[in-house]
Amino acid sequence: MQPEIHLGPLTLQTFGLMFALAFIVSGLIIGRRLKELGSPVDWAYELILAAAVGGVLGAKLWFSVAEGEWSTDQLFSGTGLVWYGGALGGAVAVAAYAYWRKILSLTLLDVCAPALAAGYAVGRIGCQLSGDGDYGKPTDAWWGMAYPDGTVPTPPGVEVYPTPIVEVVTMGLFAIVLWRFRNRWHPGVLFGVYLIGSSVERFLIEFLRRNEDVALGMTLAQITSVALALIGVAFVVGLKDRPASAERSLTTA
């Protein structure tokens, strides 16, 4: 674990660095795809800025609602960032920007799919480096590890499932698959596949994580995963029979 990097008088938080890198990587992927589609690459920067602002606010709000507490100090702190809250807040902000720019379309959703998976993977590197408590339950498995120097340290002698590592590998590979299939299906199907794949990954990893059940023997993240997976299925089923050669345009819904 390396929660902080000290450069003389300057102290950098590794989670914050990876958080920023996640947006940079996502922006590069979106920019490359926009170039392929003959759209202005500058749109990628605008999309990422909207996603960053909306994502941080959404993540903070989700955390506050889940914990039942809110303060302005918490809003500007480096803690309390929940993925699904960030995804929802970012999605709303990006949709609002895209509507204003008149590029809100199924193709735009597909453009964002590989970037979302890659950004998630990079973000989890930050969780691993900082040991921020997103690791799993105690285990005697050979691949268990301790986080004694994390920002949320594990108890002495206790090893846990290193779930951030699992998610980095899984979502990183998934991002590659999504990128390779970017021209395979009718616009909108790729985003549906992203919703299904990312939701299945999160649903399964929750069995190893420390989150508490809230209803039906599932955690809040699992319930959200089920809902998003169903939306993804609707995308795939509703669009899969349309021709893959349909025009890919950021102005065609």
pLDDT tens, 58-102? 777 766 665 655 555 554 445 555 666 777 788 889 999 999 999
Give the mean model confidence (pLDDT) for residues 190-212. 96
Lowest mean pLDDT among 32-36, 51-55, 106-110, 143-147: 51-55
Residue 77 · residue 41 · CB < 8 Å:
no
pLDDT on residue 105: 92
Determine the number of helices (DSSP H) and then strands (DSSP E) in the chain.
8, 4
Q: Mean pLDDT across the chain, nearest whole number?
A: 87
Helix (H) / strand (E) element for 219: namely strand 218-219
Q: pTM (2 decimals)?
A: 0.87
Asked whether residue 252 carries a pLDDT value surpassing 50, the answer given is no
pLDDT on residue 81: 57
Confidence of residue 143 (pLDDT cuts 50, 70, 90): very high
Cα separation, 246 vs 184, in Å, equals: 11
Residue 165 · residue 183 · CB < 8 Å:
no
Q: Which residues pair with 215 in a beta bridge?
A: 218
Residue 214: phi, psi to the nearest 5? Answer: -115, -25
Amino acid at 212: E
Calculate what percentage of the chain has a pLDDT beyond 90. 64
At 34-63, the pLDDT tens digits run 999 999 999 999 999 998 888 778 777 766
Helix (H) / strand (E) element for 11: namely strand 10-13
